[in-house]
Each structure stands twice: as C-alpha cells, then as structure tokens.
C-alpha cells in the first residue's frame, strides 16, 4: 500500500501503513514530527465514500503526513441498533485510502480507545442543545470524547471534517477553543451525487426505491433556496415541511434555519449574515441529514 509525501517539492512514494494501537501510531509519527513534518488527521467511522475521499485528498495536499482514523465510536450512538447496523468495511476503506495517498490508517479496537469507560461530560451550550443535540441526547458528548482522544493520540497540525455534519463541525471548533488544542480545524464542503443526494455512509442502507425517495431531501432544500429569496424565514420553514410532508416514505424529524455560528434559530433573514437550513429526515429506517446555506 502506498501514500505520498512531499520532500522539498518532490512527491516521494511511501508505504501506507495500517496501525491498530496508539503507541504504534505515535512511534511512527514522532519520527516524522522530529523532521518537522506537518501532520493532518481525518477522523472517520469507515464505510468510506467520495465525501471522505475529498477530505483525505485535501489533507494529503495540505500536509506532509495524512492520518485517517477508522473507528466506529460506540459512545456517540444513542441508538444501539444503529451502532450494530453501522457498516464496517476496513479492507475496502484501506483500498480507497491508498488510492488517495493517505500515509497512515489508524484502526483501533474499542478496548484501545476506551481502556476504561470515559466519564467525561462536555458542555458546548448552546450549540449542543439544539437539533441533533435535542434528538440524539449524548451524541455530541460521545463525539467530543472520541475526537479529543484522537487529537491527543495524533497531535495533528490540522484536522478535517465535512460540512454535512454541520453541527458537529461547529461543536468541534468550540471544543478546540475550550480545550486549547493547538491545531487548525478545516471544514470541507458537502459532496453530492450528480443528482444532488448528499453522500453518506448511511446511503448504503437505502434500497433502490428509498434512494429515489431520499433524493427529495436535497431537491427540496435547493427549491427552498429559490423560494427564500422572496419569502420570510417562517414561510421557508413551512415550505420545506410541506414539501417533505408530501413525499410518501419520508418522515421529517426537524428542519431549522439557524445562524451558522451560534446554531440558534433565526426569525428573520436580517438576524444573521450566515443562515443555514439544517434538516434530518427518516427515509424508511435510515436517518439522513443534510443542510443548505441561504446566506454566507
């Protein structure tokens, strides 16, 4: 397996290594850090797709060493069934990561990351009390537990997260400030299929029919952006709720239009210069999230 690393402007091919323990990873990285290599981290839960590949490509471009973690983190699943059903595809993930030039795949066991239960309780109020925080209690606490452990283990210069998990990205930025991590968080745009469906590891669980149905989520969000030009926030909320409500097979959990920094609902477009619509919809049993920027 191969990755790339840039030595004085020249791309040198190096072996992509798969490591399972923090001590092995740190032994590899300390030698590279001693040579002042910049280390980028892309935390993932595996089942990788083109959306992850875009994060890793950016990480490879902007750093000397690209570490990708693949770990299905149990503490962020408030629904145990979801944890059981989460796809685990390490071999295919490694193939994809090799093709985009990752240097290290870090795939630890649950015991490695949680040698004892993590009792830390974080508060990112008011960011974590709305939307996903309201519907998935404990979820962001689990995300903060694992992401802080990964930051501690890797000590990266930069870490890459997708904007599809818009709230997660805002919370991780806040965690970095709260805990004084000395690293840069890089948010990367949502990657969509040609027909608009936001890429997600959960899409693999959609049947062909459900996938067609799920397309109405991004279609509605795009239509709402045109609608919003001459309608109020309240009317735009109602528009999205009613469009999704018309589609048999979709069940809206929430749609909120928020300030992209505070994640608090806005009442008027003039309330913010950064307005984002965040949606969560069940398509059959599969919970899908997406978002759209109205103002930025």
Task: Pick the stretch among 38-46, 84-92, 115-123, 208-216 that binds ligand PAF (CB under 6 A).
Answer: 38-46
Q: Nearest approach, Cβ of 201 to ligand PAF (angstroms)?
A: 8
Phi then psi for 44, rounded to 5 degrees? -140, 170
* Residue 76 in contact with ligand PAF, rule: CB under 6 A: yes
In the chain the first and final C-alpha atoms are separated, in Å, by: 41
Is residue 139 part of the annotated active site? The answer reads no
Q: Nearest approach, Cβ of 23 to ligand PAF (angstroms)?
A: 21
Task: Pick the stretch among 24-32, 43-51, 218-226, 245-253 that binds ligand PAF (CB under 6 A).
Answer: 43-51
Cβ neighbours for 98, distance < 8 A, ≥ 6 positions apart: 1, 2, 3, 16
Q: Which of 128, 157, 165, 210 binds ligand PAF (CB under 6 A)?
A: 165
Active-site residue (options: 2, 20, 49, 52): 52
- Asked if 61 contacts 181 with a C-beta cutoff of 8 angstroms, the reply is no
String marking each residue 167-196 x if it binds ligand PAF according to CB under 6 A: -x----------------------------
CA-nearest of 178, 35, 50, 155 to 106 is: 155
Dist CA 204 CA 49 (whole Å): 10
* Residue 93 in contact with ligand PAF, rule: CB under 6 A: no
Q: Residue 115: how many CB atoms within 10 A of its CB?
A: 9
Q: Which of 54, 63, 73, 203 binds ligand PAF (CB under 6 A)?
A: 73
* Residue 97 in contact with ligand PAF, rule: CB under 6 A: no
Cβ neighbours for 44, distance < 8 A, ≥ 6 positions apart: 52, 55, 68, 69, 70, 71, 93
Contacts 24+ apart (CB under 8 A), 82-86: 82/287, 85/205, 86/45, 86/47, 86/201
Residue 80 CB-half CA count within 13 A: 0
Q: Which of 16, 39, 40, 43 binds ligand PAF (CB under 6 A)?
A: 43
What is the maximum alpha-carbon separation in the chain?
59
Hey, what are 288's tokens?
């899908």
In the bound state with ligand PAF, the residue whose beta carbon lies nearer, of 32 and 83, is 83
- The residue count for binding ligand PAF (CB under 6 A) is 10
Q: Which of 47, 131, 143, 275 binds ligand PAF (CB under 6 A)?
A: 143
Task: Pick the stretch among 9-17, 33-41, 143-151, 262-270 that binds ligand PAF (CB under 6 A).
Answer: 143-151
Q: Which residues are catalytic?
A: 52
Interface with ligand PAF (CB under 6 A): 43-45, 73, 76, 143, 146-147, 165, 168
């Amino acid at each position: 397996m191969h990755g790339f690393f840039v030595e004085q402007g020249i791309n040198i091919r190096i072996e992509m290594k798969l490591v399972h323990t923090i001590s092995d990873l740190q032994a590899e990285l300390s030698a590279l850090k001693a040579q002042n290599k910049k280390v980028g981290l892309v935390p993932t839960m595996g089942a990788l797709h083109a959306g992850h590949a875009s994060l890793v490509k950016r990480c490879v471009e902007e750093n000397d060493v690209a570490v990708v973690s693949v770990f299905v983190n149990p503490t962020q699943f408030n629904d145990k069934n979801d944890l059981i059903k989460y796809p685990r595809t390490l071999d295919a993930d490694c193939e994809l990561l090799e093709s985009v030039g990752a240097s290290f795949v870090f795939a630890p066991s649950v015991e490695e990351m949680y040698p004892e239960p993590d009792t830390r309780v974080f508060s990112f109020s008011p960011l974590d009390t709305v939307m996903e925080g309201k519907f998935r209690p404990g979820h962001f606490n689990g995300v903060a537990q694992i992401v802080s452990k990964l930051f501690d283990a890797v000590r990266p210069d930069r870490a890459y997260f997708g904007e599809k998990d818009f709230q997660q990205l805002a919370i991780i930025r806040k965690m970095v400030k709260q805990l004084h991590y000395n690293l840069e968080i890089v948010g990367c745009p949502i990657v969509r299929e040609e027909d608009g469906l936001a890429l997600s590891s959960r899409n693999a669980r959609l049947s062909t029919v459900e996938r067609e149905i799920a397309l109405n989520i991004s279609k509605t969000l795009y239509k709402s952006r045109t609608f919003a030009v001459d309608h109020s926030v309240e009317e735009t909320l109602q528009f999205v709720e009613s469009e999704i409500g018309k589609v048999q097979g979709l069940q809206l959990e929430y749609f909120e239009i928020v300030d992209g920094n505070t994640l608090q609902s806005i009442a008027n477009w003039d309330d913010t210069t950064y307005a984002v619509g965040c949606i969560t919809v069940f398509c059959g049993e599969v919970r899908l999230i997406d978002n759209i920027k109205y103002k930025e």
